[in-house]
Amino acid sequence: MTRLEGGMSFQAPTPAQPLKIGTRGSPLALAQAYETRARLMAAFDLPEDAFEVVIIKVTGDMIQDRPLKAIGGKGLFTREIEEDLLAGKIDIAVHSMKDMPTIQPDGLSLDTYLPREDVRDAFISPTLGSIAELAQGAVVGTSSLRRRAQLLNRRPDLDVVEFRGNVQTRLKKLDDGVAECTFLATAGLKRLGRDDVPATPVEPEDMLPAVAQGAIGIERRTDDARMAEMLTAIHDTPTGQRLAAERAFLEALDGSCETPIAGLAVLQGDQLHLRGEVLRPDGSEALNGERKGPISEGAEMGKSLAKELLERAGDGFFDWHEH
């Protein structure tokens, strides 16, 4: 038995009965699973072989030739993993929080977050250092509807093309001349240790990131008291406070892969500053707003900001949104 502070105890995982960590199979997903494992090992003084990393194939990784919105949206990166979690094939699931729908399936809880990495987007180009350096009509590759809309809002002249795949795939496409630049999350490059990538961080003032970008979430079965206890030891409270505001904003906007939405919460002492943005997919219009207030009111601020932007948008703004 392993004893936690406060006297609670549980059966610790062992090499004979390892804790099974479910994840996608991409290099970045594996890096996030290994970080989770390392934090649990350190928190409970456990050996590496007390854990088993289980790779689960998900639809979003298997279909690479079509935009996400054409094949079903965000759940494509989580559905199969969550099915295995509910079935007891794995004990926890590790996710990139920006891929996660705002509503959990019945029986699953997502309330553990690791310390958040750099939230910024990264401008990736072998020859250029910023968006401003792109020539008129330059070809830009991205699979993100948010990035596409933000780019076209600033630079309607750009030719934005679909650009899916993991970090390695996208870098090869750049080398092959498919596009002059692309964008990746700075957090992903840092977690992969890819200092070799020609990346320039883009400040949030220039490109507000995706909701929850840079954050790793750990999902468990709601009724699994053992996992709830263990995960408490590695949960990062400030990250949770920021995501509470950002994800409340996203949920109130009915956010999905068809909706270009950006949001970022920053803690300033005991205050939280939330910025949000919604855009038309073609970038022809962008609406921005912000809220500041006590950290404890983060979720309420998220809902309030979403309500304001919806009201300012009016009926016509969301005509393109598919329900």
Catalytic residues: 99
Nearest to 226 by CA among 11, 22, 39: 11
Q: Bridge-partner residues for 159, per DSSP? A: 139
Please report where in the chains the tokens 């596009």 appear, as a residue: 179
Nearest to 306 by CA among 320, 318, 319: 318
Tokens of 27: 């290099």
Alpha-carbon span 210 to 197, nearest angstrom = 21
- For Cα atoms 51, 53, 54, give the angle at the middle one, nearest 5 degrees: 130
Q: Are 190 and 110 in contact (CB under 8 A)?
A: no
Quickly count: other Cβ atoms within 10 Å of residue 321's Cβ: 13
Tokens of 308: 């304001």
Q: Which string of b and e fits 230-257 if b means at least 16 CB within 10 Å?
A: bbeebebeebbbbbbbbbbbbbbbebbb
Question: What are the C-alpha distances in Å from 51 to residues 16, 94, 111, 190, 305?
Answer: 10, 13, 21, 24, 42
In this structure, what are the phi and psi dihedrals at residue 28, rounded to the nearest 5 degrees?
A: -70, -45
